[in-house]
Amino acid sequence: MTDSTSAASQTQAEKVFVEALRKGDEAAYERLVRTYVGPLQSVARRYLRNEEDARDVVQDAFASVVRSIDRFEGESKLSTWLHRIVVNAALMKLRTQRRKPEESIDDLLPGFLEDGHQREPASEWAQSASRALERKEIRERVRDSIGQLPEGYRMVLMLRDMDGYDTDQTAELLGIQRGAVKTRLHRARQALRGLLDPHMRDEVA
Amino acid sequence: MVDLTCRELIEFLGEYFEGGLPSENRAVFEAHIGICPPCKAYLENYRDTVDLVSGACEDLEASVPEEVPEALVQAILKARKAASRP
């Protein structure tokens, strides 16, 4: 995850706050929990899609913060560090739960004619992404469509395009090769484009 | 890369989008985009898809203090107190 306000710009206020956490200040800990629990629960829900698992992961993540705050060196913002702890915990939980074989994404990919032309030629969408995102129903549609992707593709898409991790970080978090990250990302984007196409072509969606 | 079919162009689209295509291949890619409206539309849809993913959860993950899940906060604080007891 790129953090443009890294090392040098960790604010003085955040340094003081982190120091209080290191000393075991209970009020500082409660403030940390109250500030970040909502956003981090949303992150955990995205990865796990199960309310109970998301709560467990957030709870575990805060316990992990207590244990590892001494290792937080201010190279990123506190919020970025917490985000990564939750994502790591969510991915770990998914690994322990994974039982069924990976689903194929092939049915969601574009089709081609024998001469290489697109089977269903793409056409311009009626609205730009920024305009579409102003509408709650479109944001929900995008989230639902992401939820239809096979898990291995959904994870890569969220890490790269939603949470801003780069290819190397995504490969490390998922324990897969860089090439696999690139391939899965491209397929996930294509599949999602196909799922959103009927809604984005239509102005009133 | 001398010429591309639409299928090949879409295979290379990920690399193109990430800036990973060598300049010679990029020129061939862009020449195809220039004469093929469906591939131009596909590229634009692809770019919009990435932007839609990026913005789809921003409203959920903004910090909204009045929506703090109190039960979870209490569970976390309780767990910490239990862990710090001798």
Q: A108 pLDDT band (50/70/90 cuts)?
A: very high
CA angle A153, A159, A163 (to 5 degrees): 145
Q: Tell me how far apart the alpha carbons of residues B63 and B78 are, in angstroms, rounded to a whole number.
A: 23
Answer whether CATH 3.30.450.20 is correct for domain A106-201. Answer: no
Q: CA-nearest residue of chain B to A41?
A: B61
Range(s) of chain A covered by CATH 1.10.1740.10? 7-97
Among the partner-chain residues A124, A162, A185, the one whose CB lies closest to the CB of B41 is: A124
For a pLDDT cut of 90, what percent of chain B falls above it? 58
Helix (H) / strand (E) element for A27: namely helix A26-48
Q: CA-nearest residue of chain B to A179?
A: B15
State mean pLDDT over A59-65.
Answer: 92
For the stretch A131-152, what's the b/e string if a residue is b when 16 or more beta carbons lie within 10 angstroms of its beta carbon? ebbeeeebbebbbebbeebbeb
Is the separation of the CB atoms in A189 and A110 below 8 Å? no
Q: Is the pLDDT of residue B64 over 60?
A: no
Chain A residues close to B1, C-beta within 8 Å: none
**Are the Cβ atoms of A115 and B42 closer than 8 angstroms?**
no
**Are the Cβ atoms of A123 and B79 closer than 8 angstroms?**
no
Q: Is the pLDDT of residue B26 over 80?
A: yes
Distance from CA of B27 to the nearest CA of A (A): 20
pLDDT value of position A203: 61
**Are the Cβ atoms of B14 and A189 closer than 8 angstroms?**
yes
**Are the Cβ atoms of A192 and B75 closer than 8 angstroms?**
no
**Are the Cβ atoms of B76 and A37 closer than 8 angstroms?**
yes
* CATH fold for the domain made of A7-97: Rna Polymerase Sigma Factor; Chain: A (1.10.1740)
Which ipTM did the prediction report? 0.87
Distance from CA of B3 to the nearest CA of A (A): 12
Q: B3 pLDDT band (50/70/90 cuts)?
A: confident
Range(s) of chain A covered by CATH 1.10.10.10? 106-201
Size of the A and B interface in Cβ pairs below 8 Å: 151
* pLDDT tens string B40-62: 999 999 999 999 999 988 777 66
